[in-house]
Every structure is written in C-alpha cells, then in structure tokens.
A and B are shown apart, each in its own frame.
Chain A
Amino acid sequence: MIRYALVKNRSPVHAVKSVLEKMLSQKLVDAILAAARNPYSLLPMPTLFCDPGKMEGIDPLAPVAPFNAARQAAAVTKQPTGKRIALVLRPCEQRALIELVKLKQCSLENVILIGVECLGRLENQAYIQHASEVSDFTSVFYKNPDMQAEVTRACGVCEQFTPAGVDLTISLLGAPEGGVGITAETETGDTLITQLELAVADEPESRAAAVGKLLQGRIAARDALFKATVEKINHIEKFQELIATCLSCHSCRISCPVCYCKECVFITDIFAHPPETLLRRAMKRGAVKLPTDTTMFHLTRLAHMSHACVGCGHCSSVCPSNIPVADIFRTVAAQTQALFDYQPGRDISEPIPYLVFEEELSESSV
C-alpha cells in the first residue's frame, strides 16, 4: 500500500528542501547525498550534507544533471561506514546504482533511497543559460510546458520517469501548485513519513492522468527513435559511418554510470599498439585511420554494458563529436534486455544475465 503525503511550501524546491532539512535535523539520517548549487557553480553537483544549516543551495529537482550521480552514490556507499545515508537520486541514477550493487561496487546496507520523479534534464549549457537569466529556474521549469520540451533527447524518450523500488518518492506530477507529493513504498519509507510528521493525503486525482499522458508521449517518441536508429546501425558500414568522428576520448565510457571497470581495457596495454603494429597495418592495407579501434571500442561497450544501460543519455551529452551514442545504446539495449527479459535496476535480486547458466537452453540447441 503506497502512502501519499503532501508537502506544501513556496515552491516545490522549498518543499523538498524542508523535508530533507528535517530529516537531518531530526537525525533520522546521518547524511544526505543530493544535488545542490554552490557559490562557485550554477550547475547543481552531488553534495554530501551532514549539517542541515548548510543546505541552502540544495535543489534535487533542478532539470539538469552534470552527470549521472550513481557513481557518486556508489562512492559514499562502497564500504560500510556504520552511518545511515539518504541518497536523493533521479530514476536513471537509482537504477544504475542498483546495477552497481549487483556488481559489488557498493552496498545498500544502511542506505535510504529517495527517488525524484524526473521530467527530464536540460543539457548543461542550456540550463546555465536559463539559470543565469531567471532566479529559481527550477520552479519556472515545472510551470512551463515549452521549457519541458527542451529536455535532452534521451530524456524525451524516457518512459521510466517515476522512481520504483525506492523508500521514498518525491512526486511532482499532479501535485498542487507549490507542493510535492512524498510517497512511501517500503516500510522504511512509511516510518519516515510518520517520523517527519508529513500530512498524509489522498493521491491527487489529476496525478494518474498526468502520468499516463506523459508516458504515452514518451513511448511514442521512444519507438520512433528506435525505428530511426535501427536504420542507421543495421549494417556495420552504416554503424562505422555513424561513429566515424569518434576521437577515442572515452568520455562516453567515463560518463556511463554502469561502465564500472577500474581501468577500461581500451586504455590498458592490450590496445597500446607499438608503432611497428601500426606500420604493419598500414603496409598491409595501404592506409590506416588513427586513432584505431574506435569501432571495436563502441562494439565492446555495447557487448559489455547494453544489458545494463539505464538510458540516462549522458554518453551523448558529453560527446565532443556529437555522436548519438545514447540513441545507439538505447536501441541496442532494448533488444539485449528483451532477449533476457532483463530490466536493469528493476530488482536487486534479479541476476545479471551473463551470470546465469542454463543447461536446459543449451540442451535445446541439439
């Protein structure tokens, strides 16, 4: 049974801030990781708070994310500290975090997951532009549907904008002016609502319709994207054309929240070709393009990570060559994930497909 509490304030930003401050001041948690502006940056950065008095710039609803914060969330939960930490994450961040837990990169012991319903994020530069023009841009964004249409391409096709499997959800859709809904799915979340003395209410009637409408639009956009992208990558030559301008900067892999390797294989000795290898290649074929191994890099990343792709789109956002990396990943991921009936981040107990060995399947191939 989901419990819905309504928090009203000057604006949704203030409403969320008040709840999070209360969690710290009442010592319900020892620390909160949430996005916040600081005096040096207009872009909200993941920030670890212990003092409720320092939470002035906190703004987890800001329609921007410089990167997927799952890695930062993993950094504070890698080893047990004995402290109770609340992580305020977008759905794509929280799903990536679940994948990192499965990969033993962090643990959810003593962790409270707070998910933020997310209408999408703007590209960093677009956000900075707006935020430097308007104060409290976040509130403006949620009131302005035109603004909401400016979200990144990945966000525009995201159908998982409502958090699932978290303790508390900060829900925006259908909430009355100046307020946010706080819903609890778990016992821990339920207790927190009670401890925070939030006003429990019926879920607003308009919410279901708002969610449904958004979802419908997103699914249509997603399917259109899949269709268009498949056309661009259904042959190795087309694929190579699409990624032809890759600089091998590996920004996509660095921004990828589920690419968890300590050191990517593409920067190890295995791909550090000595000059004679390069010359030999050139001699054999007459010419060789540098940097080498770019196709291999993208195909390898697809092979390694497409089952775990949460569709956050940061790979596209960071690409200096404007390669639609996220389009490729979402399109391929949809197929790999369907193949194994696997949804990254859905359930912590759902095993990663390549860790499951089914002898029965191999038997049927006789």
Chain B
Amino acid sequence: MIKNTKILVVGAGISGIRSALDLAETGHRVCLIDKAPAMGGILSQLDHQFPDNHCGMCRMLPMIDRDNGQQFCLRKGLFHENIEILLSTEIISIEGNAGNLTVTISRRPQGVDPDRCTGCRDCESECNIEISDEFSAGFRKRKAIYLPTPHQIPNQRVIDWDTCSLCGACRDACPTGSIDLDNQPETLVLENIPAVIISTGVELYDPGHVDLYGFGHLPNVVTATAFERILSSSGPYQGRLFRPSDGKALKKIAWIQCVGSRNIMIGADYCSTACCMFAVKEALLASRKIGKDARTAIFYMDMRTFGRDFQRYKDRAEKDAGIRFVRCRVHSIEPAENDKDILISYIDSSGNPIDETFDMAVLSTGKNPEFQLPEFASREGVFTVNSARGFMDIQGAVISASVASEKAGRSVSKKGSALLQQRPEKLYFDAVCEEKPQLQIVLCTCGDFLKPVLDWDRIKAELKNMPGRIEIARIKMICDQNGWDEMIAMLRNTTANRLLLAACNPLVYLPRLKELSQETGIMPSLMEVINLRSMVDQATDLAFRTRAVLCELEMSIRRLFSHNPVEPALYPVSKSALIVGAGPAGLTAAISLAVRDFKVSLVEKTSRLGGNWSNIQSAESRETIRTLVTEVENHPLITIHSEAEVIQSFGNPGRFVTRIRSNNKDEKSLLHGVTILATGGRAAETTAYSYRKNNKITTLFELEERLQQPDFAVGSNATIVFIQCVDSREEPRNYCSRICCLKSLKAAITLREVYPQSQVYIFYRDIMTYGNSEQVYTQARRKGVMFIPYDLENKPRVRIESGRIMVEGSDPVLDEPVFFEADLVALATGIVPNPAADLVSIFNLKTTCDGFIREADSKWRPVDTGREGIFICGVGRSPSRANEAMDEGKAAAQRALRILSKDTMIASRHTARVRHVFCSLCETCMHVCPHGARYMDFELQRVQVDHAACQGCGVCAAGCPNSATIIESFEENGIMGAIEAAL
C-alpha cells in the first residue's frame, strides 16, 4: 500500500499535460499517467498546427516558476518538480469518496532502467523482431525494443512485451546493464487521492470497418494522421510527398471529410469538430510542398470554419493555394484503371455524378462512435475533461483541460489541502557573491568504457593549464549508487562553488541536478552537465575525440566562470482580482476565484449583471443566469462596481493598480494581483435583406425574443425563412459567430412543433453544428425544416412588394430559382465584440482586425494575453456560446490562480537585465519584447524589466546593439568565451 496525496491525471496528451501543469503550477502535487509508453498523445505525431503552421506545444510550458521545471520541447518530454509521470500505466479501479479516493493502477515495466540507460541503441540493433511502427502510422518498421517517439528525451528505449520473445539479446548487448526482462505488471494502490482528472482523449474511428473508403486494401488511401507523418520531415520520406504504394511524387490529393462522423447509420450523430480545419491545414501544407502542380480537393458536407480565425484561413487556402472545396457526399472510393490511383465517385452540388482520379485519398477520421468512457469517470471526485468525451481542436482541449483543473482544484481546496510554495534560491546566494569562482570538474569514466577511448593524460594536463581555480576528479560510474555517493561525499568537502559534470544521458536530462544542489549547496545555475558519452560515440579517432571533449569542457568552463548570478527579484502578490465585464464569462471567473478565498472586484459598465444573457429568453438559460448572478451578488468576497469603467492601469503580475470611474465621476484605485477581461459582445447590426423596412423582417435575436411572447403568432400555414451568415463570413466581418446556426435550428424546430403546417426554410452556407450540437441539426431535418445552401455569389434576395415579403434564391440541386412569399424572415446577423479600444490601450494589449482582444496564442494559450497577469475570456476574445464563455471564464480563473496562489512571485533565473550605464534608451527592446515585460521608467529615465513577466527569451538582447541588455546566464563574456574555446 502506497500513501499518496497527489492529484491523479489520467492520459498524458495535451489535455492531460495542461491539467497537470495547471495543478502543478498552483502548488499541487500531480501524478500523470498514460497507458502508452510515451507522452504526448496524438499531438506527438503532428508537426504543424494552423494558423502559423508551427507546432507551438512548448507555449504551454510554465511561464511563472519556470525553474520548477525544465524548458524543453514538450513533444520531447515534460519535466516538472511537482509532476510525477507514470507511463505504460492504466487504472484498474477507483474506490472511495470524493476527496479521498483509492485508485488501483497497473504499471507495466518498460524494461529499461532510465537511471542507467545511455541511449546508445545497442539493444535495438541486436533485437531480431520487426513489426510495423505505430508512431509512423505503419510506414516504418520497429523492433520489439524501440523508441516509442523518435524525438523523446531521454532517448531511452522501451520493450514492447506483446511482441518481445524474451530472447535476451538486448540485455546481453546493453553496456550499462540497464535492461531487465521481468515483465510482470506491477499493481499499485494509491490511497488518499484527493481528485482524479480523466483526460484520456477519444479513440479515432477505424475506417477499415467501412468498405466504401477502401481503407486497408488500397495502400494510397490513408488517414489524416498518417498523412501528417508523410508531411513530417521525420516521416517515412523525410517530408517529401511520396505515396506509399509506389513512391510516386504526389500531385493530386483528395481529402474526404466526416469519415465516421455525422453518420447516423453507424451511431455517429455528432461532428468531430476538428477535422475540417485539420484537412484545410494538411491541404495547404501539401499544396505548398508540391508547388504549382498541386491539385488538392476537399470533399465535404459543411465546411465548419466556426473558430474566430478559421474562415479567413480557409479563404486563403482556397484563393491563394488553389485548394478546391467540393460540397458533396462521396459514395465510393475504388482503384482507378491504373490501380495505384484512386477513383473517387461523388455527386456534385448540381446533382451530376462525377468520377475523378486522384493520386491519393486522405480520410478525415473523427471520433469512434463505439468509444465509451470508463464507468469510474462518472464517480464523484473524478473530473472528466470534455476532450475525453468528444474530439476537439487544440484550443478546445486546452480550455476544457483547464476547466477540469479548476473543478478539481476547487474540490480539493474545500478539503483544506495545503499547497506547495516555491522557495527562492536566496539561501546560499550571499555566500556565492563574496566568493571567487572555484570550479569542481567531475569526469565519469563510465566504468572502464571511457578509459581506453580518451587520452586522459592530455585532458588532465590541458585542464590544469586553464585559467581559474579548477579541481578535477574522476569517478567510475556516477549513475550507479556507489558512484553517486562517492561524488556527493567528495562535493560535500569541496569549497568549489561551481560544478561541471561530464557524464551522460541520465544526468543530462533527469532532474537530478536539484537533488545534487540540495546535497552540495552549489546553485543549479552554477552547474553544467555535458554528455561525454555521446561525444565519444560520435568521433572515431583518439586524438580527435580527446580534442572534442576538451573543447566541450573548455566551453563549459568559460561559461561557468563568467556567470555571476544576481539575486532573483521577489514580488509580493496581492491576493485579489479585477474582473472587467459581468457577463457569463466574467461572472463565472468571479465565482471561481471567490470560492478559492480570493477577493474579486467586478467592474461592469452597465447597471445590471448578466451581460447578453439578461436578454436571453429561454427558461433554462434564465434560471442558470439568475443562479449565477445571485451567487455573485451574495458572495462576501466579491465587490461589484456597476456603471463603472477602467480609466488607468499599471503594474506587473501579482501587483497591478487600476483606477476605475463610476458614472457619477467617483474615482477609485484598486490594488489587485491579476486582471481578467470579459468585455463581451453584442448583436451585430445590419441593413441587409431590407431589415427594418417591414416588421416581418426581423433578426434572429428579435425572433427568439418574440417567440417567448404569449401573443406571438404567425399563420398556421405560414412560410418562415431563416437566412444564415448575414454580413458574416465575408469581409469585412469574415468570421463565424458560432451561435446563429444553433439558434436558428432551435427556433425552426419550435416553429415546426407549434405550427406543423408551416413551411420553414433555412438559407445557409455551412451549418455550424460542431460537436454534439449536430444532433439539433439532425432533429431539425427530421422535423421537416428545409435547408437551401447558398454561396456568396448567389445570396438569397428579399424584396418587399406592396407589403408582401418575397424571398428569392436558387436551388442548387434543381439549378432553378426558388421563390417564397414569406410571413416571417429571420436574419442571423451574428455578434460583434463590444468596443474595447480604450481598455486595450490601457492594458497595452492587441486586438484582431475585427476588434476582438487577441490572446497570447490562439491554440496553446487561449485565455492568456500577451501580458502575464492579464487574462481574457468570452465573446470579447472570440465568438462563443454561453457555455463556452463560462468555460473560458473558469479557464481564465485557473490561469489567474497560478499567480494568486503564491504569496510572492519569484523571478526565474534566466531573465533579462539592463546595464543602464550603456543604455541609449532607443526602446528597441521594448518594441520587440513578446511578453510586454519592459517599460520606460520616466522618472529615472531608465528602461526597466518586469522580471515576473520576463521569460528570458533573449529577443531584447538580440535587438540591443551594444549589449546594454543581457540575459542572466547568457552573458556575452561567457558565450564569447565558449565560442572562443570552440574555435
């Protein structure tokens, strides 16, 4: 029985990583498990994400308390002090009560001891078994002992017990004896688990189940994930676009959407949400790689570009890259005459059957309809991330993961669990400043392995010759306990204040340096590790090898001697929040923080709470909003400033001062640690389709309101026409408002229910019922609502002829014009953000061209702004449905908790510093800083660094022409010295 007070996060894909980091960053201990032998989930296979087509996963890394973890590419691995990671591990059962769960897990040994493995891959070379490699989607073979992901750190292999023959060849080949063939799974019982988060993701649909796709027997029909591997430079063809069957260069590629989604026949009455943009991105990347000969087509039913920036991305793909978008349902995929090619048969929008030949077909597979969450997911104290219920894009997954962390953290805090507080490195700092640099070098000889392959006499002689006080010691094997103990004993007696370890993998990557620091009193920032073993492996001749090692050693020596640590800056945290905007997002965020005992000042420019919600008429929503408003109004820690606005704000994360002014001109200063902006939006105005010229032409929002009135009536045989995307998804308002399709569908269903004889038509471009809201679309079709697609060239027209409303459109299937005399026309005008120019300039933020406040990163940091300590949520950031806005409110609160949960913000080791005596005040650094971590102190006439926000990225130092700004630990002297040593 193992006692454990860690929150358990199940599934180490991006949602799991997000949740684990959320909790770890707020001071919880976390245990992150995954049944796979490597972390990262599906994202470990994907190199490019739109909109910038980079990966960007590292943007999830902690930006506060960075020194608690390692700033590594997250696809390579996650290293954080508060997170323990167990791979090849599954949950067997969860028992007990919320707050005190007993979780039984089963862990399969990986077969290789990470503390000893040097990553030399001798084991893999010796293994005789070859099977298809999952990571490369079967395009490559792998051994039974293998790297689950090629880029992982450390590059330690694992054994696939299902295929391993236990022949022992790998064990015999291992030079460090790190392989153990005992494959008995270990059962662990974790007690006192305060909460469990399920972030297992969803299973993807296997298109091999359906004949029409030809998947499985046609080699040139691949899934979208497999195509991602073909695109990857670490993929089967090094990123060149060849097709699997014959290696022919790809030119003509088709994407087939909704494979396994939106198909009632297989029980998939949902949209898998992410596949449309995934396909557009892949088509765009493919077109760019292929060049002018590219002919790419996407076969789709509705192009679901519902995100704020999706439509413009899709338009660019269509206009600039020439990607063809074909609205149809493909009815068969068969071998073409040249049987390597693919023949796709479909009915085009005019109803003509078309056969078209392609080099390859890519299937956009969505969620597997048979996938089900385990029974324990519904247990109290177990929180399930939404991305484990349905397929989601990165932004959705990241937000929903933070929502789950918020819920888990909230439930744990009720139980009074204590949080960890970070301690600064200050303890031994003063001593180091006084002392002269003195360096201890420890060389690991890797048993006897390194003795004959290096010229040790020369190494010793040259190191002696180097300037500065240097001690040298050789240890046989640091990675085994004896060697480790020997080293610790030696270091305890040394007067050295800097340490250089020349060893190999286990020390380079594993977080043992902190342990070493605690044992020896040498600061981690004054330690360096070099990978001796891998250097030796790379060179062939003794003299060259020795020179390479000496060169590397001298580089580290130069860096270590020139590095003069400065005391880390401390910033006290004001344990309170300012929230601007009291709509669903703002109210939710306020509650999230108040229930965690933080004071909240809620500033609202109108006189009532609830935002747009107070206009919503449906009984259910009304009840939700009333409950939320009441809770906010009655919470003792929430102060409401209604009819007030922000007029000024300055400060840094943990300590902002903001002035607000109420409508009676009273001004007030608020001190707060974080800021959450939830400024919301409002219905867009329109003059299109003769709106306001006749009271039968109304907006969708007005119709919703009228439907609730007791005196609402249209004739029982009425003809009602909805027009979607009014002024939307075309310039200048080229985005989807996300809410209108669902609202129109619901209204249409209501009308059909109340007036079964009525005719209800919806003119649409693409119905945006992503996720489970697809069911409403299905229901509307069942209820006899008629759908007429239109495109921008053929918009419907509304005319008023002597008081009669005539709607004219064209039926693409019949290719004929259609006319209706409508009794009611509802225009889905969409939403626009509330004007935020003033706030944006007060808080020094950015907006999109449509006036939405821009987040730090739309995928990985969706509720952060470019400035640490200031967060955004709701419609002010992006169109969203009310439940989504509330989720964003929770996610923003969770991000804010990273700061509020601390008493003091401690700047990280690597931050920028200004040498004022050299500074010319040109402000270049302020312009280029991506984190808004610099400001001009007009009183002192100095450029100052906000160390709490500074991420040490070094852009300022690169921009500064005379090194007036430098990055701690990367001072020019050390870098120049290292370069000199390398020459």
Q: Identify the A interface with B (CB < 8 A).
A: 103-105, 260-265, 268-270, 276-277, 280-281, 284, 304, 352, 354-355, 357, 359, 362-364, 366
Nearest neighbor of B47 in chain A, beta-carbon distance: A366
**B 940-983 to A, binary, CB cutoff 8 A, 1 in contact else 0:** 00000000000000000001011110000000110011001001
Chain B contacts for A265, CB-based, 8 A: 918, 961-963
Contacts of A357 in B (CB 8 A): 928
Do A262 and B920 touch across chains, with their CB atoms under 8 A apart?
yes
A355-B924, A366-B48 as given contacts; A262 in contact with B919, CB under 8 Å: yes
- Is B288 part of the binding interface, using a Cβ–Cβ cutoff of 8 Å? yes
Residues on A with C-beta less than 8 A from B54 are 362-363, 366
B619 interfacial by beta-carbon distance below 8 Å: no
What are 8 A-B pairs with beta-carbon distances under 8 A? A262-B919, A262-B962, A265-B963, A270-B963, A270-B972, A363-B53, A366-B285, A366-B288
Near A by CB (< 8 A), chain B positions 879-934 give 917-924, 927-928
Interface membership of B711, Cβ < 8 A = no
Chain A residues, Cβ within 8 Å of B285: 366
Instruction: Annotate B337-357 by CB proximity to A: 1 below 8 A, 0 otherwise.
Output: 000000000000000000000
> Which of chain B's residues have a CB closer than 8 A to the CB of A260?
920, 922
Q: How many whole Å from B723's CB to the nearest CB in chain A?
A: 34
Shortest distance from the beta carbon of A99 to any chain B beta carbon, whole Å: 11
> Is B467 part of the contact surface with A, judged by Cβ < 8 Å?
yes
- Asked if B801 is at the interface (CB within 8 A of a chain A CB), the reply is no
In the complex, what residues of B have CB within 8 A of residue A103's CB? 920, 922, 924
- How far is it, in angstroms, between the C-alpha of A267 and the C-alpha of B963 when the chains are bound? 11
- State A268–B54 Cα separation when bound (angstroms): 38
Q: Are the C-beta atoms of A104 and B918 separated by less than 8 Å?
A: no
Q: In whole angstroms, what is the CA distance A262 to B916 when docked?
A: 10
Residues of B within 8 A of A104 (CB): 921-923
Question: B52 contacts the other chain (Cβ, under 8 Å)?
Answer: yes
Closest 7 pairs (CB-CB, A-B): A265-B962, A261-B962, A103-B922, A270-B972, A262-B920, A304-B961, A355-B927
B924: which A residues are within 8 A, CB to CB? 103, 352, 354-355
Q: Which of B52, B288, B961, B980 contacts A277 (CB 8 A)?
A: B980
Bound-complex Cα distance A270 to B53 (A):
38
Contact with A269, one of B920, B973, B980 (Cβ below 8 angstroms):
B973
Q: Shortest beta-carbon distance, A20 to chain B, in Å?
A: 32
Task: Report the bound CA distance from A268 to B980 in whole Å.
Answer: 18
CB neighbours of A264 from chain B (8 A) = 962
Taking the closest CB of chain B, its distance from the CB of A10, in whole angstroms, is: 45
Q: 9 more A-B contacts (CB under 8 A) besides A354-B959, A366-B54?
A: A260-B922, A261-B961, A261-B964, A262-B962, A268-B962, A270-B972, A276-B467, A363-B52, A363-B53
* Residues A263 and B918 in contact, CB atoms below 8 Å apart: yes
List the B residue with the shortest CB-CB distance to A270: B972
A-B interface contact total, Cβ < 8 Å: 65
Residues of B within 8 A of A261 (CB): 918, 920, 961-962, 964
Q: Which residues of A contact B927 (CB under 8 A)?
A: 355
Please measure, in the bound complex, the distance between the C-alpha atom of A241 and the C-alpha atom of B920, giving whole angstroms: 33
Of all chain B residues, which has the CB nearest A301?
B961
A366→B922 contact, CB < 8 A: no
Closest to B467 in A: A276
Contact A270 B973 (CB under 8 A): yes
| Contacting residues, chain B, for A355 (C-beta < 8 A) | 924, 927-928, 959
Mask: chain B, 36-49; 1 = CB below 8 Å from A; 0 = not:
00000000000010
With A263-B917, A277-B980, A355-B924: A362-B961 Cβ-Cβ less than 8 Å: no
Pick the contact of B962 from A263, A277, A280 — CB < 8 Å?
A263
Per the bound structure, the CA–CA distance linking A8 and B544 in Å amounts to: 80
In the bound complex, residues from chain A placing their C-beta under 8 Å from that of B288 are 364, 366
CB distance from A238 to the nearest CB of B (A): 21
Residue interface mask B111-148, A partner, CB < 8 A = 1: 00000000000000000000000000000000000000
Inter-chain CA distance A354–B921, complex, in Å, is 16
Q: Mark out the residues of chain B between 154 and 185 whose CB falls within 8 Å of any chain A CB in the assembled complex.
A: none
> Are A362 and B52 touching (Cβ within 8 A)?
yes
Tell me the minimal C-beta distance from B669 to chain A in angstroms. Answer: 30
> Which of these, B918, B923, B983, contacts A262 with CB under 8 Å?
B918
**What is the CA–CA distance of A167 and B185 in the complex, to the nearest angstrom?**
84
With a cutoff of 8 Å between Cβ atoms, the chain B residues found around residue A276 in the complex are 467
Chain B residue at minimum C-beta to C-beta distance from A271: B976
Contact between A270 and B976, CB atoms less than 8 A apart: yes
B923 closest partner in A (C-beta) = A104
Closest chain-B Cβ to A267's Cβ sits at a distance in Å of 9
Whether the Cβ atoms of A359 and B52 lie closer than 8 Å is: yes
Q: Are the CB atoms of B918 and A281 closer together than 8 Å?
A: no
**Which of chain A's residues have a CB closer than 8 A to the CB of B976?**
270
A355 to B923 alpha-carbon distance, docked (Å): 10
How far does the alpha carbon of A319 sit from the alpha carbon of B927 in the complex, in Å? 34
Closest to A362 in B: B52
Residues of B within 8 A of A363 (CB): 52-54
Docked pose: A264 CA to B928 CA in angstroms: 21
B114 CB → nearest A CB, Å: 34
Interchain CA distance A269-B924 in the complex, whole Å: 22
A281, B977: Cα distance in complex, Å: 11
Residue from the set B54, B961, B972 with the largest chain A CB neighbour count within 10 Å: B961
Q: Report how far A362 CA is from B54 CA in the complex, Å.
A: 9
Q: Which of B48, B920, B928, B983 has the most CB of A within 10 A?
A: B920
Most buried by A among B288, B962, B963, B977: B962
Report the minimal beta-carbon distance from A295 to chain B, rounded to whole angstroms: 13
**With A359-B52, A366-B48, A366-B288: A268-B963 Cβ-Cβ less than 8 Å:** yes
Q: Which of A284, A363, A364 has most chain B Cβ within 10 Å?
A: A363
Question: Which A residues are in CB contact (< 8 Å) with B917?
Answer: 263
**B50-93 residues at the A interface, CB under 8 angstroms:** 52-54
Query: Which of A270, A276, A364 has the most chain B CB atoms closer than 10 A to its own CB?
Result: A270
Residues of chain B lying within 8 A (CB to CB) of residue A281: 980
List the A side residues contacting B467 at CB < 8 Å: 276, 280
Query: CA A262 – CA B973 in complex, angstroms?
Result: 20
Most central of A105, A261, A281 by chain B CB within 10 Å: A261
A265 to B920 alpha-carbon distance, docked (Å): 12
Which B residues are CB-close (under 8 A) to A270?
Answer: 963, 972-973, 976
Give Cα distance in the complex from A212 to B972, angstroms: 50
Report the minimum CB–CB distance from A257 to chain B (whole Å): 14
Residues of chain B with a CB closer than 8 A to A354's CB: 924, 928, 959
- Separation of A1 and B285 alpha carbons in the complex (Å): 50
Query: CB-nearest residue of chain A relative to B915?
Result: A268
Closest to A366 in B: B53
Chain B nearest CB, measured from A318 CB (Å): 20
Kindly state the separation between the CA atoms of A104 and B53 in the bound complex, as whole angstroms. 35
Q: In the complex, what residues of B have CB within 8 A of residue A364's CB?
A: 288
Report A-chain residues with C-beta under 8 Å of the C-beta of B964: 261-262
Residues of B within 8 Å of A268, CB to CB, are: 918, 962-963
Chain A hits for B923, CB < 8 A: 104
Nearest-CB distance from B897 to chain A (Å)?
30
Q: List, in ascending order, chain A residues with CB within 8 A of B919's CB.
A: 262
Contact A105 B963 (CB under 8 A): no
* Residues on B with beta carbons closer than 8 Å to the beta carbon of A359: 52
Q: A303 — nearest CB in chain B belongs to which residue?
A: B961
Q: CA A280 – CA B557 in complex, angstroms?
A: 14
User: In whole angstroms, what is the CA distance A366 to B918 when docked?
Assistant: 38
- Shortest CB-to-CB span from A119 to chain B, Å, is 33
**How far does the Cβ of A307 sit from chain B's closest Cβ, in whole Å?**
12
| A360 and chain B: residue at smallest CB distance | B52
> Min CB distance, B362 to chain A, in Å?
18
What's the Cα separation between A238 and B54 when bound, in Å? 40
In B279-316, which residues have CB < 8 Å from any A CB?
A: 285, 288
- Distance in angstroms from A130 CB to nearest chain B CB is 38
Q: Given the complex of chains A and B, what is the CA–CA distance between A262 and B53 in angstroms?
A: 41
Q: Mark B586-620, 1 if CB is under 8 A from A, else 0.
A: 00000000000000000000000000000000000
User: A105 contacts B922, CB within 8 Å?
Assistant: yes
- Distance in angstroms from B152 CB to nearest chain A CB is 23
A320 and B287 CA atoms in complex are apart in Å by 57
